[in-house]
A and B are shown apart, each in its own frame.
Chain A
Amino acid sequence: MQDVFVAGAGMTRVGRRSEPLPELMADAAHAALAEARLEAPEAIVVATMNPEEFVGDGNYASHVATQIGFADVPALRVETATSSGAAAFYAGFATVAAGLRASVLVVGGEKMTHLSTPRVSELIGRSIDPYERAYGATMPALAGLITRALMSRSGVSAREIAQVAVKNHAHAALNPLAHFQQPVTVQEVLESRMVADPLRLLHCCPISDGAAAVVLTAATTPVRVAGIGHGTDTLAVRHRRLLTAFTATRMAARAAYAMARFGPERVDVAEVHDAFTPFELISLEDLGLVPPGKAGRATLDGDTALDGRLPVNPSGGLKGRGHPLAATGLAQIVECTWQLTGRAHGRQVAGARRALAHSIGGLATNNWVTLLEAS
């Protein structure tokens, strides 16, 4: 297998954007290509979760390729719900690793803020098991079920769950590309509107527009892709024995650490899928970054803050940076790349050598763990 390197990384500001989706994706793509000093890639992988319904366009690989001036470059689209960006990164990685192409542009994006919140919730909810959906289950509803079980069975406190939001908003305030630029307090989180009991509004990531891109090459650069793991689980939450941990994350983490030949103890910085703040606590333990049952305590103690033992979501995470669906998995990798090359201005983790990106697809049915290493 050929070593694969990140040659360029770019992303748009995340938030409410007036530009059409292909334009956002073009901005991210050209930024990544400029950094890679590459006029054209040999192939393109496009990630969008549901452009057919969000913006009304299909055949999106060709749509984006043409829009950014690469109608002659072979392009394909990859989709695994909310982790589509990470899945597209894997497809690009595999293409270069197999020696099929020397360079691949991976670009992901989503545009959602022009639709009403119930409509966005409905469209994201299409990734839920149809029977559970028929009972009104949405992403926040299923996350609410998981959170109540987590609090009841594992003793995770409301304060611990709120602190994740406080930390990630504080990080986002240091990231000019983040959706949220204001910090929040524990009190504000605990007093925000109830969404899916016990989850409140400030426990949930916002609805955002944005795009992110990376260029992968066989030629050596300062950042090497050390490992990628893919994990899966049943579509239906009711078919799982394990409710307060994600089997798909554990499976993905095992595979990624095995490929990288290093374990969680060597990770210096992590971008973790905190679409709902309790998911960051669950994921830290699933990834082996924090011992079982300790994620809440570690968060309260500041271990996962920017100046802590293991900074988690220095970008602000999905909670603070925002979650433009298929852009997110790539935005995490962009942040990791910047951290490993000393370019995360204002939020740089000193001396970071190894970074982890963790992306959840659907209600943890299709998860990815990507490990990057300074080479």
Chain B
Amino acid sequence: MFEIIGNYFTQVGERLDWNWDLVECVVLPRLFGTVYTDIGFAAGCKDPALSHEMFGALGNTLTAVFLGYSIALVVGLIFAIGQRTPSKLLSRVVRELVEFIRSTPLVVQIFFVFFVGPQFGLTLSPWVAGMTAIGLHYAAYLSEVYRGALNAVPAGQMEACVALNIPARRSFFGIIVPQALPLALPGMGNYLIGIFKDTPMLMVIGVAEMMHVATAIGSQYWRYTEVMTIVGLVFLALSIPTAIILRIFEGYIRRKMGMTR
């Protein structure tokens, strides 16, 4: 049994056309930037394909995640609050906006902001257009996470605030939001990983994140195996620890909030 499986992998290994020189001298320098070559890797390469950036394509991907997620966290909260206001008109408008954003593909939105915007006098750089699209898209998702978490805080908490005469703003940010936070964290973590894995869509407007660089290398050398495998492994290597850290953080917040014994 084990012999058969072992043989299978040996055969796959023999058939797999894998070029370590390409990985060392092109793929890794472009993905990880000058940091990689400065450390002393790629020393044996005659002509390593240097990245211009210090942290290479990975740096751009992580920057996109950080900026996009930051926008989404804040705008998502604004969307969620907008749906809770007493004004029927405002909450309806925000509701429909969220529904609209959620119901169209991210890649279409990225194209639209970047290519159609200029026709209306809105010319944005790839980075600004990309961050706007990805930030708003995930803001719509996050607003639903926030909304669910805020609704899950018992109505009695707000009533206690009214009974104690606590002002509305303090009631919301000091009493309701802290209780909603542990409830929102699983969903928030989910979309952090989601946004990370959706950054490749930014390649369509020329943001030099990992996928953009990967396809460039692929078409230049007409070899995709190495670069796509490495990119996939980088995503995997970062997603899994992020998920674990988020879980630990959630437990920490719950204990800190006195939510568990």
A joins B in a complex: no
